[in-house]
Amino acid sequence: MTGVELYFSDIWSKTKTIIKDHDSVGKIIYDTYFDDSSLMDLSDARATIVVPTNLQKMVLSQKLQLISDSLHQVINRDVECEVLLASEVKKAQQTKVVEVSEELAGSDNVLPFYTFDNFIVGPSNKESHSASLACAYNPGKFYTPLFIYGNSGLGKTHLLNAIGNYIKQSDPNSKVYYTSSSEFVSRVVNSIKDNSIESFKETMNHLDVLLVDDIQFLAGKEKSHEIFFHIFNELVNNRKQIVLTSDRDPSEIKGLEERLISRFSSGLSVGMDSPEFETSLAILRFKMENQSLDSSMIDDEVLSYIATNFSKDVRKLEGALNRLIFYSINFGSGERIDFKTALGAFKGSSTSSDKNEISTTKIKRVVADYYGLTRQQLVSKSRTKNIANARHIAMFLCRKLLDLPFMKIGEEFGKRDHSTVMNACGKVEENIKKDSNYKQAMLEIEKILTQ
Ligand code: ADP
Ligand code: MG
């Protein structure tokens, strides 16, 4: 520690002692949220406090007055306090390096807190997880590019960075670079402006691993297409690893050149889906553990409620958990969170509506869950027996419960034509008649859908 850091740590530990003894902060709250905070900077007018988790940031930000009053008692002056996440500080420092040097070297942009260790695997993401791990384990050898697609909040950015972190750790000499496609575009634009495009291409061409997030934002940016195409080919030809993510399948990204789409599809494409109930519960438990929250702090019934109603994506799950804890600290007893507290916390907030109403999305999800498949598999081209069987059942249910036209159902299931859907529905009807196990499965699925 430098002298200044020692000075800060001394001030902060005295301040924390005052906070700890304050009436509005009990032992659990102090230990959970304040104990591992630190004072990163202190100027005449401002104090910057850093915490490891988002939840701590939220809680401390609600207690700024208390923090500032306590700090006043130690340093004898008023300062404005701000609370930052450790990851934000790191990112800000990294961005600064890039801005100053305008070089890629020295900053791989990989976000250190997204790793495979803190990624929970379940049926909805097991394909994308295992493909990512394979690429991380043996970069450039399995599939390049690996293309991961799925809706927002399902863990694409997390996996992409986990690949980067894994490779950096196993081979510190490996040149890894993470970027979003919009950042890539602005780098291209800036390099063209200041005549450094050749050196930009050169730097990119020498990477071992290129991770590009949200590639759909490359759409319509023609100059960037050309540069990206060039870099892409160079890396693939040299058996380097490229991993791309997008909110949709490569063929569905509008405004991308054909040659790019076909390149993107040339490796392996894997889809991610909304987490199932069990996975949602596992994620919630893991997030609590990660924030050093005792899992007995929240009733199981409450966790099930969140897992059922906020499982459209993982970001929503995390948000619901944070909201609940935040609410209980401010309005509850600050102790155990029961169902009543939970209902108070979520009053007025929208839960995923498709849970109560039957929709094609819900039918796909329930059928996929029932057969241990992903929604992507249901709409895929695959004719594997169990996938085709589940697909037929889902189509049949769309017809029976929603009374949709065959053509519309076909569109919903990977753009199949209406006769395929008609045949599928016919087959299901026959199977129900002749196979009692099949009929039983149908009844169970319908029950889940309508309850
Ligand atoms: P996307 O890029 O698909 O929009 P993110 O990767 O940003 O989604 O994920 C949103 C949040 O959910 C992040 O905080 C991420 O760490 C978390 N998350 C997503 N999937 C998982 C998972 N399987 N296990 C643990 N955390 C997850
Ligand atoms: Mg993302």
CB neighbours of residue 227 within 10 Å? 21
**Atom of ligand 1 minimally distant from the CA of 272:** 3
Instruction: Give the closest ligand to the alpha carbon of residue 161.
Output: 1
CA 25–ligand 1 middle distance (angstroms):
31
The ligand 1 site (C-beta within 6 Å) comprises: 114, 118-120, 125, 152-158, 283, 314-315, 318
Model confidence at 98: pLDDT above 60: no
Q: Specify the 3-state DSSP secondary structure of 245.
A: strand
Whole-number pLDDT of residue 4: 60
Q: How far apart (Å, rounded) are the C-alpha atoms in residues 335 and 329?
A: 8
- Residue 414, Ramachandran bin (φ over 0: left; ψ between -120 and 50: alpha; else beta): left
Q: Specify the 3-state DSSP secondary structure of 450.
A: helix
Model confidence at 353: pLDDT above 50: no
Instruction: Give the closest ligand to the alpha carbon of residue 114.
Output: 1
CA 352–ligand 1 middle distance (angstroms):
18
Q: List phi, psi (to 5°) of 141.
A: -95, -30
Whole-number pLDDT of residue 268: 92
Q: Please state the rounded mean pLDDT for residues 334-345.
A: 79
CA 409–ligand 1 middle distance (angstroms):
31
CA 364–ligand 2 middle distance (angstroms):
24
Torsion of CA 355, 357, 363, 365, to 10 degrees: -20
Nearest CA to ligand 1 atom 14: 315
**Atom of ligand 1 minimally distant from the CA of 113:** 16
Whole-number pLDDT of residue 348: 67
Whole-number pLDDT of residue 292: 72
Taken in order 285, 289, 291, 296, the sign of the CA dihedral is: positive
CB neighbours of residue 146 within 10 Å? 25
Model confidence at 344: pLDDT above 90: no
Q: 18-32, 291-305, 337-351, 357-371 — which is least confidently predicted?
A: 337-351
**Atom of ligand 1 minimally distant from the CA of 150:** 3
Q: Take residue 130 and report the two structure tokens written for it.
A: 């295992």
Residue ranges in 331-384 assigned as alpha helix (H): 339-346, 360-370, 375-379
**276-319 pLDDT tens trace:** 999 999 999 999 888 777 777 888 899 999 999 898 899 999 98
Determine the Cα angle at 165 with ends 161 and 170, to 5°.
150
Q: How far apart (Å, rounded) are the C-alpha atoms in residues 416 and 411?
A: 6
Whole-number pLDDT of residue 44: 80
Pairing of strands 38-42, 176-180: unpaired
Check: CB of residue 54 under 8 Å from CB of residue 290. no
**Atom of ligand 1 minimally distant from the CA of 318:** 12
Instruction: Give the closest ligand to the alpha carbon of residue 153.
Output: 1
**146-194 pLDDT tens trace:** 999 999 999 999 999 999 999 999 999 999 999 999 889 999 999 999 9
**Atom of ligand 1 minimally distant from the CA of 286:** 25
Q: List phi, psi (to 5°) of 117.
A: -60, -35
CA 406–ligand 1 middle distance (angstroms):
36
Mutation probe of ligand 1 site: the residue of 152, 158, 289, 315 with most atoms within 8 A of C-beta? 158
Instruction: Give the closest ligand to the alpha carbon of residue 158.
Output: 1
Peptide bond into 52 cis (omega under 30): no
Check: CB of residue 57 under 8 Å from CB of residue 47. no
CA 410–ligand 2 middle distance (angstroms):
30
Q: Take residue 371 and report the two structure tokens written for it.
A: 């057969």
**Taking every pair of C-alpha atoms in the chain, what is the biggest distance, in angstroms?**
84
Reported confidence tier of residue 342, pLDDT bands at 50, 70, 90: confident
CA 322–ligand 1 middle distance (angstroms):
15
Q: How far apart (Å, rounded) are the C-alpha atoms in residues 413 and 394?
A: 9
Whole-number pLDDT of residue 99: 39
Residue ranges in 194-276 assigned as alpha helix (H): 197-205, 222-237, 258-264
CA 129–ligand 2 middle distance (angstroms):
15
Model confidence at 96: pLDDT above 80: no
Q: How far apart (Å, rounded) are the C-alpha atoms in residues 429 and 288?
A: 46
Nearest CA to ligand 1 atom 23: 120
CA 365–ligand 1 middle distance (angstroms):
19
Mutation probe of ligand 1 site: the residue of 120, 283, 314 with most atoms within 8 A of C-beta? 314
Q: Take residue 406 and report the two structure tokens written for it.
A: 């065959």
**99-113 pLDDT tens trace:** 333 344 347 999 988
Mutation probe of ligand 1 site: the residue of 118, 312, 315 with most atoms within 8 A of C-beta? 315
Nearest CA to ligand 1 atom 25: 119
Written as one letter, the residue type at 109 is: N
Q: Specify the 3-state DSSP secondary structure of 419.
A: helix
Instruction: Give the closest ligand to the alpha carbon of residue 275.
Output: 1
Check: CB of residue 395 under 8 Å from CB of residue 424. yes
Q: How far apart (Å, rounded) are the C-alpha atoms in residues 114 and 90?
A: 13
CA 249–ligand 2 middle distance (angstroms):
15
Taken in order 286, 179, 141, 167, the sign of the CA dihedral is: negative
- 83: which strand partners? 49
Helices then strands, each counted (H, E), the chain: 21, 8
Extract long-range pairs of 172-175: CB within 8 Å, 24+ residues apart.
Answer: 174/139, 174/208, 174/209, 175/108, 175/206, 175/207, 175/208, 175/209
Q: Please state the rounded mean pLDDT for residues 371-391.
A: 90
Instruction: Give the closest ligand to the alpha carbon of residue 271.
Output: 1
